[in-house]
Amino acid sequence: MGAMERRVALVTAAGGAIGTATALAFAREGARVVCADLQADAAEAAAAAVRGAGGEAVGLAADVLVAADCARTVETAVDRFGKLDTLVNLVGYFGPRGGNWNAEQFDLAAWNWMMDVNLKSVFMASKHAIPAILAAGGGAVVNTGTIAALIGRGPGAYAASKSGVLALTRAMAADYAPHNIRVNCVCPSATDTPMYWRSGGGNRRREDVANSVQGLSTPETIAAAFLYLASDRSPRVTGQILVADGGFTAFRP
């Protein structure tokens, strides 16, 4: 039996590189997966990848900032697979939108947008998924942080929004530990994804990142961290921040 046998997982932003890798990792361990993404074609591509690997998955377009869409993703999981017991909150964005990186230049609209995408999305998806997870008898929620929430790195709005995710993770873990729901968070460092190169890494040479102290993570190595926290391999782990950064924060001068 796999570590996710008989589990039903909802993965948000499943069309992204890490999202698809996570959906595949879960399916290989026995989970059935709802692949949700803002873009319908990306959601279906992730689900098709899972099915192509021999797993069960359904893809659907959903904006997790919209309550009706959040409710629909949960209903899809329950209707299609009979329950929902695992949520992975992967929706997020790294670079500034409509403003510069510095605090005095980062405009209010860009600040609000980043708080919505990185923090409100976690709240919204969790708010709608947790009742179903409770009905299933418990399960796991895994959120996405960043090393920028731990050290002085990245634009302030990004670091602040992800710091909120860390705090929300711990608070939810305390709230739901008596109800058999574990809540944890993965903090990746630089990962070789199209989003990274578009939004933050585009001004760095690939070889410079690859040869730096932490190297460059792959979507599959980050997916392994999500799998560990979501699965039976971590039955007593809750309220924890798992840093998957190749040692960057440990070795940083």
pLDDT digits (tens, 9 = 90+) for 159-213: 999 999 999 999 999 999 999 999 999 998 766 655 665 655 545 555 555 545 4
Instruction: Look at residue 253 and tell me if it is in a domain.
Output: no
CATH code of residue 240: 3.40.50.720
Task: Decide: helix, strand or coil at residue 183.
Answer: strand
212 HSE (CA, 13 A, CB side): 21
Reference 122, options 176, 72, 181, 163; nearest CA is: 163
How many other CB atoms are found less than 10 A from the CB of residue 5? 11
In a domain, residue 30? The reply is: yes
Domain membership of residue 252 (yes or no) is: no
Give a yes or no: residue 232 inside a domain: yes
**Is 3 inside any structural domain?**
no
pTM: 0.90
**Does a structural domain hold residue 166?**
yes
Of these residues, 158, 176, 196, 228, which one is catalytic?
158
**Residue 69 sits in which domain range?**
8-247
196 is catalytic: no
d(CA 209, CA 205): 7
The tens digit of pLDDT for each residue in 204-243 reads 555 555 545 456 778 899 999 999 999 999 999 999 999 9
